[in-house]
Chains A and B, each alone.
Chain A
Amino acid sequence: MSDENLLEVRDLKVHFGGKKMFRKAAVVHAVDGVSFSVPKGKTLGIVGESGSGKTTTALAVLRLVPITAGEVRIDNLEISSLEKEDLRKARRHFQMVFQDPYSSLDPRQRVGDIVREPLDLMEIGDPSERDQMVRDLFVQVGLRPELTKLFPHQFSGGQRQRVGLARALATRPQLIVCDEPVSALDVAVQAQILNLMRRLQEDMGLTYLFISHDLGVVQHLCDHVAVMYLGQIVEQADRISLFKNPQHPYTKALLAAVPKARVREDETREERVPLIGDPPSPINLPEGCRFAGRCPVAMDKCHKIPPALKDQGGGHLASCHLLDN
């Protein structure tokens, strides 16, 4: 274990189901053997389609879903084995920002109280100082401190996401897990929140685990990127290497599918090889490579033997049989 990594995840598995009252039920392999680490002060982006397990990975890191197997360490503290009170106390070091700023704030609580609640629960500072701390947090996320008395419905989507950020920052965490924090926002507001997140990271040395399906946003914000498909990481590299030189056919297809908001000189629209079909179900997993069924370059071998995630040079990891040659 390196000292520089704030978050280390080893062979994480999250399986759902398996039991129904009196009979066996299908097992959903939501996350199936995922390993990654995030250095202090950096951002790891996890991308993938819906159902790839990216959100479940985020929730498992925060112990918000039961971990089936594997290990999660935050700042060298093993989170995955902590019990009740120890886990509750440790939570001040890792917080979350949610996708939907409308449903992630209690509509009947004043926003100031929403931000103050973590301070009360974690007993941070003197109770008399906490109101001032809340006002400071408001300023930090770009909200006027007089707004603490208002209710969430009096805010716009962007302002609510700022409140969500202030709440996450209240306990001075080291790690913030962001699950699609800007995908519910309009593009102009999205730019404001992304810039705010970057500023906060620079000022406070925050580490982000950033879940998103928007590759443009991930490229902008993240230092490292992991691509997930059906519960596994199929490719992982630093930002430049991944976008410049994608190795896995799935990553290539994902990148090709993003519409480019630019006009080419020759005025033609790019013809791309579309990825056919939807991802298979995480219940009946294919025997070989999980992507083989949709892969444009699949070979016989791919349907039989699952490829391993290997270093393709310079720490750029990818799992594909084609890369072995």
Chain B
Amino acid sequence: MSALLSIKDLVVDFRTRAGNARVLNEVSLDLKEGEILGIVGESGCGKSMTALSVMGLIPSPPGKVTSGSIQLDGEELLTAPRSRMRQVRGGIVSMIFQEPMTSLNPVFRVGDQIAEAVLLHEDISKADAWARAVEMLTKVGIPEPAVRAKAYPHELSGGMRQRVMIAMALSCRPRVLIADEPTTALDVTVQAQIFDLLKDLQEETGTAIIMITHDMGAIAELADRVAVMYAGHIIESGETRDILSNPQHPYTRGLISCVPHLDENPTEERPYLNEIRGVVPSLTELGQGCAFAPRCPYKTPVCENTQPKMEKVAGIHSVACHNVEYVVAV
């Protein structure tokens, strides 16, 4: 199956006082129809920027898409006229954000906000749009949807608000849904409900999902495929189970082993956590070599001079590391 959304060699630069920051550096990603793709990484790695590029929402200036292409079903989005992007945003590609309180308008009823999205994209009456809003609220599991549609955001809990955001995002039956840290602000019990909801909706509607997160647990739970990002680069990608059970890049390995995972059978022994030494580099001060080299325990002279390319290790599992054989062997 060919890709529904295809990002090729995308480069995005931000002009800052400290110099040029390359926030995305030759990022390539494919999203197939009906799949869930996870993008993981720490703050500032470029995962949200990737999402904003697809939506055509890179703040410009200071941001600028320098080169590359983003194709949605064969149509180039980077050169698409503004009017076309307005149709794409919310209609074909829609997005849910981390903080449901700040992304809902506090002075409008949630039903009106969902109906507004529908009215913008479809030629239907206000009454029908309202009916669609109530239908969507039912679909995302909000009790008494007809009543809740008349509620204001502050009258709903965090989990309910995120459900409203999901209802709004799916109200125009998009083909791609981008979820940017959709559960970070929520309690674990509510997070579990939202994961189940996303999975069910994905199976029912066939919408492809890009799930942006820093939580490997969320990836294991939802994603079919994963891309790991570091300092604007994709450094490893592959099927979820390959990445989780057999990570190859030193950064991916560090990222997985530094989290204290909940163990159902804990013992008295409590080793210290693995640390990734140092800090994420400043994007204005990246050198010629691998961005991870300054923190990498396996670095060799070549890492400091040459940027590693993504290379296939098995199946669709690719990794960008000069010393991958050595890293895996130790």
Q: Which of B's residues lie within 8 Å of A, judged by CB?
A: 42-43, 157-160, 187-193, 195-196, 214-221, 240-241, 244-245, 254-256, 258-268, 270, 272-276, 279-280
Among A50, A220, A275, residue most surrounded by chain B Cβ atoms (within 10 Å):
A220
With a cutoff of 8 Å between Cβ atoms, the chain A residues found around residue B189 in the complex are 49, 253-254, 257, 274-275
Selected from A156, A213, A219, A263, the residue in CB contact (under 8 A) with B263 is: A219
Contact assessment for B240 and A220 in the assembled complex, using a CB-CB cutoff below 8 Å = no
A-chain residues with CB within 8 Å of residue B280 when the two chains form the complex? 186, 188
A261-B220 in contact given A191-B258, A191-B259, A215-B188 (Cβ < 8 Å): yes
If A244-B264, A258-B217 are given as contacts, then 5 extra A-B residue pairs at C-beta distance below 8 Å, sorted by A number, are A187-B255, A198-B272, A216-B260, A243-B266, A257-B192
A195→B42 contact, CB < 8 A: no
Report which residue of A190, A194, A260 has the largest number of chain B beta carbons within 10 angstroms of its beta carbon. A260
CA distance A8 to B80 in the complex (A): 66
Assess whether A108 is interfacial by the CB under 8 Å rule.
no
Pairwise interchain contact B221-A194, C-beta atoms closer than 8 A: no
A23 close to B (CB within 8 Å): no
Q: Contacts A187-B255, A195-B273, A254-B188 given: A259-B218 contact, CB under 8 Å?
A: yes
Chain A residue, CB-CB nearest to B241:
A263
> For B216, what are the chain A residues with a Cβ–Cβ distance below 8 Å?
261
Contact call A257/B273, Cβ cutoff below 8 A: no
Residue of B nearest to A259 (CB): B217
Residues of chain B within 8 A of A186, CB atoms compared: 42-43, 214, 280
Name the distance in Å between B228's Cβ and chain A's nearest Cβ.
12
Q: How close is B300's CB to chain A, nearest CB, in angstroms?
A: 22
A290 within 8 A of B: no
A contacts with B: majority SS? helix
In the complex, which residues 268-289 of chain A have their Cβ closer than 8 Å to any Cβ of chain B?
269, 272, 274-276, 278
Interface centre among A195, A256, A259, A278 (most CB of B within 10 A): A259
Tell me whether A263 and B220 are in contact (CB under 8 A): yes
Beyond A239-B266, A263-B244, whether A216 also contacts B188 by CB under 8 A is no
Q: Is the CB of A257 within 8 A of B265?
A: no
Complex CA distance for A257 and B196, rounded to whole angstroms: 11
Within 8 A of B (CB), among A190-246: 190-192, 194-195, 198, 213, 215-217, 219-221, 239-240, 243-244
Contact of A158 among B264, B265, B270, B279 (CB under 8 A): B279
Asked if A20 is an interface residue, CB under 8 A from chain B, the answer is no
Q: Which of A191, A213, A219, A275 contacts B262 (CB 8 A)?
A: A219
Can you list 18 contacts pairing A with B, beta carbon distance less than 8 Å?
A: A50-B187, A188-B254, A188-B258, A188-B275, A188-B276, A190-B259, A195-B275, A213-B187, A216-B259, A216-B261, A240-B266, A240-B267, A255-B262, A258-B262, A260-B220, A263-B245, A274-B189, A274-B193
What's the Cα separation between A188 and B260 when bound, in Å? 11
Contact call B261/A262, Cβ cutoff below 8 A: yes
In the complex the two chains form, what is the Cα distance from A258 to B220 in whole Å? 11
A50 partner residues in chain B, CB cutoff 8 A: 158, 187
Distance in angstroms from A6 CB to nearest chain B CB is: 21
A267 on interface, CB distance cutoff 8 Å = yes
